[in-house]
Amino acid sequence: MTIAHAASAADILSRIRDLTPAIQQEAAASEAARRVSDDTIAALKDAGVFRIAVPRRFGGLQTDLRTMLDVSAAIAEADGGPSWVATLSNVNAWATGLHNPTTQEEVWADGPDAILAGVLAPSGKIRKVAGGYRVSGSWAYSSASLHADWTAGGVFVVDDSDQTIDQGMVTIPRADFHVEDTWYVAGMRSSGSNTIVVDDVFVPEHRYMSLRPTMDGSYLDDHPDDPLYRAAIGSMLVMVLVGPQLGLGQAALDLVLRKGTTKALAYTSFDQNKDSVAFQLLVAEAALKIDTAHLHAYRAAEDVTRYADAAEFPDVVARGRIRGDAAVALQSINTALNLLLNANGAGSFAEVNALQRIWRDSNVAARHAVTLPQVSLETYGKALLGVEPHITPII
Nearest alpha-carbon partner for 156 in 193, 178, 197, 127: 127
Domain membership flag for residue 225? no
Residues 159-170 pLDDT 10s = 988 899 999 999
Question: Which residues form the domain of 61?
Answer: 9-107
Here the CATH number for the domain that contains residue 254 is 1.20.140.10
Shared domain check, 237 and 205: no
250 and 77 in contact (C-beta within 8 Å)? yes
pTM of the full structure: 0.95
**Residue 288: inside a domain, yes or no?**
yes
Residue 337 and residue 249 share a domain: yes
Collapsed DSSP state (helix, strand, coil) of residue 114: coil
Domain boundary among 210, 242, 277: 210
372 within some domain: yes
- Do the domain assignments include residue 82? yes
pLDDT tens profile 250-270: 999 999 999 988 888 887 888
On whether both 41 and 159 belong to a single domain, the answer is no
Rounded Cα–Cα distance for residues 275 and 253 (Å): 17
364 and 269 within one domain: yes
Co-location of 21 and 138 in the same domain:
no
* Residues 115, 89 contacting (CB under 8 angstroms): yes
Position 371 confidence tier, pLDDT thresholds 50, 70, 90? very high
Cβ-contact 337, 162 below 8 angstroms:
no
Q: Which amino acid is at 182?
A: T
Residue 65 has pLDDT above 60, yes or no: yes
From CA 78, how far away is CA 21, in angstroms rounded?
7
Residues 126, 188 within the same domain: yes
Q: Is the peptide bond before 389 cis (omega within 30 degrees of 0)?
A: yes
Residue 394 lies in a domain: no
Domain count, the chain: 3
The verdict on residue 216 lying in a domain is: no
Does residue 343 fall inside a structural domain?
yes
* Residue 390 pLDDT exceeds 50: yes
Does residue 141 form part of some domain?
A: yes
- CA-nearest of 247, 195, 235, 238 to 81 is 247
Please check whether residues 200 and 248 belong to one and the same domain.
Answer: no
Lowest mean pLDDT among 101-115, 155-169, 261-275, 324-338: 261-275
Same domain, 100 and 153: no
Query: Are 239 and 369 members of one domain?
Result: yes
Contact 239, 321 (CB under 8 A): no
Q: Which CATH number does the domain housing residue 152 bear?
A: 2.40.110.10
Backbone φ, ψ for residue 170 (5° rounding): -115, 145
pLDDT of residue 248: 98
Q: Let me know whether 261 and 368 are in one domain.
A: yes
For residues 124 and 200, membership in a common domain is answered with yes
pLDDT band, residue 6 (cuts 50/70/90): low
User: Which of 107, 133, 161 is the endpoint of a domain?
Assistant: 107
Predicted confidence (pLDDT) per residue in 44-60, tens digit? 999 999 999 999 999 99
Give the confidence band of 1 by pLDDT, cuts at 50, 70, 90: very low
Average pLDDT over the chain, rounded to an integer: 95
- Is residue 16 within 8 A of residue 73, CB to CB? The reply is no
Are both 236 and 381 inside the same structural domain?
Answer: yes
